[in-house]
Structure 1
Amino acid sequence: MMPSQVKWEKPELGWMKLNTDGSCNAAAGKAAGGGLIRDDMGNWVVGFTRKLGNVNSFTAEVWALRDGLILCHQMKFPAVIIELDAKALVDALSNPRSSNSVISPLFDDCKLLISQIPHVRIKHVFREANKCADRLANSGHAQVVEFIIHSAPPMDLVPFVEDDSKGVSCSRLCPVLVPFC
């Protein structure tokens, strides 16, 4: 393991970035999801939170992604970078034959919504580069209504959004990749 600097990065000019996350508290039997869309300057476009109830973490991740993709579709964004810290979901989306019988309708919705965006990139990021989506997902546990759209960042999230826009990084221990000979 080697220390690396990890940060949220602005998308290229003309692209939007969707970060989503799911949150699961198995002991309490609660799950939630959330995420946000930012423009190529790092500015907040829209955010969302969803209270889910008793589902597993993978299902919470897929719900959050679906919610974010629906917003991207409604806003007619032509180019979207999707960042997730759920590697299993990124891998499933990257495999065209992938399916999951437990959450197939949700997962299929995500794949359909992705196919309707002209330019899409799906990327796995470390949790530290997804902290705004993580905080939104966690806040979904306490909300009274099922789904909330945030036209501006909640006050407690403002410093994190600003740090991301400024390129503030944090240190993380990452595996060292050894090239093949």
Structure 2
Amino acid sequence: MKLNIDGASNAVLGLAGGGGLIRDEAGRWVVGFSRKLGKVNSFLAELWALRDGLLLCHQMNTTALIVEVDAKVVVEALTNPSYSNTIVSGLFDDCRQILSCFNQVRIQHIFREANMCADQLARLGSLQASEFVLFSCPPLDIKDTFEADSLGVYSNRLCPVFGCS
């Protein structure tokens, strides 16, 4: 299984959300989720989305899991066994504990452009009325993005060019 997660915060409204989706080995939608978080920073939003996604994968008796995250700081924290942060320690410890339940797990950073479905689910979470929502199929708002992703359609990433005259 593959788990893509993301956190989103709306600075204007002061609201945050987390979300993600689980795909099978063929890239098909298994389940998506979004969570309303209120006023939290982006690191906490990412961790909440990770915890939610890991719990869902664990409940589905997943044994091998690839976790893709577009927040490099989260990947670095999870792959560093000595990482410690007293502010998020409870949530972070939950994530580490759930991760230890899988036989095989790989956590990797991906670019934001490759994580658009999770990003859209996180944004839905920041605006939804319910605290937590599960999606058995892609919501209409992200259906086109998911289909494009499934077909391998990509978007260009603009990178600054250094050293040019």
Q: TM-score, normalised by structure 1?
A: 0.86
Alignment pair present for 1:155 and 2:143: no
| Residue 118 of structure 1: aligned partner | 103
> How many pairs were matched up?
161
Question: Letter of the aligned partner of 2:141 in structure 1?
Answer: D
| Cα distance in 2 between the residues matched to 1:55 and 1:38 | 27
Residue 170 of structure 1 aligns to a residue in which SS?
coil
Contact kept in structure 2, 1:35 and 1:137, CA below 8 Å: yes
CA shift for structure 1 position 170: 1.3
| Cα distance in 2 between the residues matched to 1:107 and 1:174 | 32
Structure 2, unmatched stretches of 5+, are none
Contact kept in structure 2, 1:26 and 1:56, CA below 8 Å: no
Contact kept in structure 1, 2:75 and 2:109, CA below 8 Å: yes
| Cα distance in 2 between the residues matched to 1:88 and 1:95 | 11
CA shift for structure 1 position 100: 1.2
Alignment pair present for 1:146 and 2:131: yes
| Residue 6 of structure 2: aligned partner | 21
Contact kept in structure 1, 2:15 and 2:127, CA below 8 Å: no
| Cα distance in 2 between the residues matched to 1:159 and 1:47 | 15
CA shift for structure 1 position 29: 1.9
CA shift for structure 1 position 79: 0.7
Contact kept in structure 2, 1:34 and 1:137, CA below 8 Å: yes
